[in-house]
Structure 1
Amino acid sequence: MLSAEEILCSTQQVIAGLEALRGENRSLLESLQEAPESRPAAESGSVEQEKSGIIRQSLERIELGLSEAQVMMALSAHLGSLEAEKQKLRAQVSI
């Protein structure tokens, strides 16, 4: 079983990976949206639209993953502060 610290470390690594993947997908989408004359004639508009749609779906999923990871990090920080407050109150009661 992973400790809370290991989970947070892994989550930070996932966030970094997702941010890199988001950048790559944005670059791909931008290159697909460049002027049509810069692409070979064999690549039709419908194929281009399909690729763009797939990349947009991927970006949406990446954004969702990033949001969920950030919520996990915020929740962990909040739970940590609650635990610290609980320990402080216990120490005050025992005095």
Structure 2
Amino acid sequence: MLSGEEILCSTQQVIAGLEALRGENRTLLDSLQETLQSQTPSESTSLEQEKTNIILESLERIELGLGEAQVMMALSAHLGSLEAEKQKLRAQVRRL
């Protein structure tokens, strides 16, 4: 079983990978959109439109994954601060 630190490290690696993938997808999308704009409407193929739609769906999923990973990181930080507060309160109780 993975420790909390290992999960956070893996999550950070996933975030970096998703950000790189998002950049690649945006580059592909820009290239496809330039191609579509340079063609006349009669030259536009449904294949290029389909590719554009697939890349847009992929970007939405990547954004969702990034959002979820960032929520995990924020939740971990919050739980860490709660644990520190709990330890501080226990120390105060022992002193009393």
Q: Which residue of 1 aligns with 2:22?
A: 22
Note the alpha carbon deviations across 1:14-48, whole angstroms, 9 max, x for none.
00000000000000000001144868xxx852111
Q: Which residue of 2 aligns with 1:64?
A: 64
Q: Which residue of 1 aligns with 2:88?
A: 88
* CA displacement at 1:88 relative to structure 2: 0.1
1:34 aligns with 2:34: yes
| Count of residue correspondences | 92
Identity %: 83
RMSD: 1.7
TM-score of the superposed pair, with normalisation by structure 1: 0.91
Q: Which residue of 1 aligns with 2:8?
A: 8
Return the alpha-carbon distance in structure 1 between the equivalents of residues 37 and 71 of structure 2: 43
Return the alpha-carbon distance in structure 1 between the equivalents of residues 61 and 27 of structure 2: 16
* CA displacement at 1:92 relative to structure 2: 0.2
Note the alpha carbon deviations across 1:37-88, whole angstroms, 9 max, x for none.
868xxx8521110000000000000000000000000000000000000000
Q: Secondary structure at the match of 1:2?
A: coil
Return the alpha-carbon distance in structure 2 between the equivalents of residues 56 and 20 of structure 1: 16
Task: Structure 1: give runs of 5+ residues left out of the alignment.
Answer: none
After TM superposition, which residue ranges in structure 1, 4 or more long, deviate above 3 angstroms? 35-39
Task: Structure 2: give runs of 5+ residues left out of the alignment.
Answer: none
Return the alpha-carbon distance in structure 1 between the equivalents of residues 36 and 93 of structure 2: 72
